[in-house]
Amino acid sequence: MPLGALLGGSLDLMERAGIDVAVLRDPGRKLALTAPDGTVFITTRPSDVPTYVEAGAADIGIVGRDVLVERDPDVYELLDLGFGACRMAWATREGDDPSDAAIERFGVVTVATKYPRSADIHFSRLGRQTEVVKVNGSVELAALVGLADGIVDLVATGRTLRENGLVEREVIFHSSARLIANRAAYTLRAEEIDAVVAAMRPVVDEGVVE
């Protein structure tokens, strides 16, 4: 289970699907919790969910598509859960897009991001030479102070970009929460995992979880 922004939607969807997640509503400091039916829930940061699932420490997990694109784990993606919608975008300071000028002057566009793989894939597809600067904090600052020509980052409402004088230039891909499974676990426990998917699918189709 992903801690943070996707946790609330994950719990709401699972409850509506008839899955008992009461132990996760007030977990205290526990990171692994056992439900009355014996199901063990692991809570961790979203970027680590694919690691636990790929390694087989968890059979299934919920994670944003942005993490899957960035990490490229060897897992099955079973279902788009439809909540946690956002987009990966290329953004620069307001005014003329500096990309063409940067290419003309230096031969490369400098990109600041927490998502280097996503940035590399996008700009390679467009045939643009890039220099990617990995940052971990407020990535918007990199464009404001001239560390980079622009940024690649997740955008939901766009408010943070606007308040910092940045504008979206290109949407790289759209993201939402996804249900993933360990490949071996899906082979060995296909009936149980398919039952979870079948329980979740009508809730997803109703669109009642945001």
3-state secondary structure of 143: helix
Q: Which domain holds residue 168?
A: 86-174
**Which pLDDT band holds residue 209 (cuts at 50, 70, 90)?**
low
173: left (phi over 0), alpha (psi -120 to 50) or beta: beta
Alpha-carbon distance of 54 to 124, in angstroms, equals 27
Q: Which residue has tokens 């942005």?
A: 66
77 and 181 housed in the same domain: yes
Alpha-carbon distance of 6 to 12, in angstroms, equals 10
Q: Is the pLDDT of residue 134 over 70?
A: yes
In this structure, is residue 68 part of a structural domain? yes
> What mean pLDDT do residues 139-153 have?
94
102 and 151 housed in the same domain: yes
Number of domains within the chain: 2
Residue 42: its pLDDT value, please?
96
**Which pLDDT band holds residue 39 (cuts at 50, 70, 90)?**
very high
Residue 135: which of 152, 122, 120 has the closest Cα?
152
At 57, which CATH number? 3.40.190.10
Q: Is the pLDDT of residue 143 over 80?
A: yes
- What H or E segment, with its residue span, contains residue 134? strand 130-134
**Which pLDDT band holds residue 128 (cuts at 50, 70, 90)?**
confident
> What mean pLDDT do residues 142-154 have?
94
Alpha-carbon distance of 69 to 152, in angstroms, equals 13
91 and 164 housed in the same domain: yes
Residue 144: its pLDDT value, please?
92
In this structure, is residue 164 part of a structural domain? yes
138 and 78 housed in the same domain: no
57 and 70 housed in the same domain: yes
Residue 208: its pLDDT value, please?
64
> What mean pLDDT do residues 142-147 have?
92
142 and 77 housed in the same domain: no
202 and 132 housed in the same domain: no
In this structure, is residue 2 part of a structural domain? no
127 and 155 housed in the same domain: yes
Q: Is the pLDDT of residue 127 over 80?
A: yes
77 and 153 housed in the same domain: no
Q: Is the pLDDT of residue 182 over 70?
A: yes
In this structure, is residue 163 part of a structural domain? yes
pLDDT tens digits along 81-110: 999 999 999 999 998 888 877 877 877 899
36 and 93 housed in the same domain: no
In this structure, is residue 1 part of a structural domain? no
Residue 71: its pLDDT value, please?
95
163 and 189 housed in the same domain: no
22 and 76 housed in the same domain: yes
3-state secondary structure of 166: strand
